[in-house]
Structures are given as C-alpha cells and as structure tokens.
Amino acid sequence: MNTLFVMLQQQAQGMNLNFFIMMGLMVVVFYFFMIRPQMKRQKELRKFQESLSKGDKVVVAGGIMGKIFDVKEDHAVIEVDDNTRIRVIKSAIVRDSSDLQQK
C-alpha cells in the first residue's frame, strides 16, 4: 500500500510538471501569434499618426474621408469638402485613403 501511494505521488508531480510546461507553451504561442503582431500594428499606426502632414488624404475612425488642412500637436484639421473643416484628435485618424484606392 505504501508503494502504491509513493507511485501515485510521483505520477501527480509529473502531471504538475507537464501542466506547467503546457501552460508555458500556450503563453509563448499567444505572444508570438496574437500579442506581438498587435503591438507591431499599434506601433505602425502611431508612427503614421505622428508623420501626418498638410495635404495628406486620410480616413477618420468614423469613416469620414478628407484632406489634412492643418496639423497641431494633439489634433488635426481635416477638410472634408470645400470650406468644410473638422477638427479631430490625431488618434482618430486610422489610415491613409490612398490605401483604400489601391485595394
């Protein structure tokens, strides 16, 4: 009976080790297939938003398309029609409208 208890205890310790190894592998897989690509996209978007300049054609998060009229520190003025300008926060500008035309 004592030997059976020792064998079961060793087997349980092996299962715990296997469990932690599998959890570690899952974390690595999530990092490389989900977290890392998302961080890369965010970095590219931030770089794009910082490089905005007058005359760029952009799309705002709400779907509004226009041309940048003026760029300030934290916001940009976008001209959506003749003499129709709106002020948006730079983080709301999600892409260059030339990307849409290429697709």
The model's pLDDT over 62-97, given as tens digits with 9 standing for 90+, comes to: 889 999 999 999 999 999 999 899 999 999 998 876
**99 or 55, greater pLDDT:** 55
d(C-alpha 96, C-alpha 49), whole Å: 10
pLDDT of residue 19: 81
**Do residues 67 and 56 lie in contact, with contact meaning Cβ atoms separated by under 8 Å?**
yes
Spell out the residues 6+ positions from residue 100 whose beta carbon is closer than 8 angstroms to its own. Answer: 59
Instruction: Report the SS3 class of residue 84.
Output: strand
pTM: 0.65
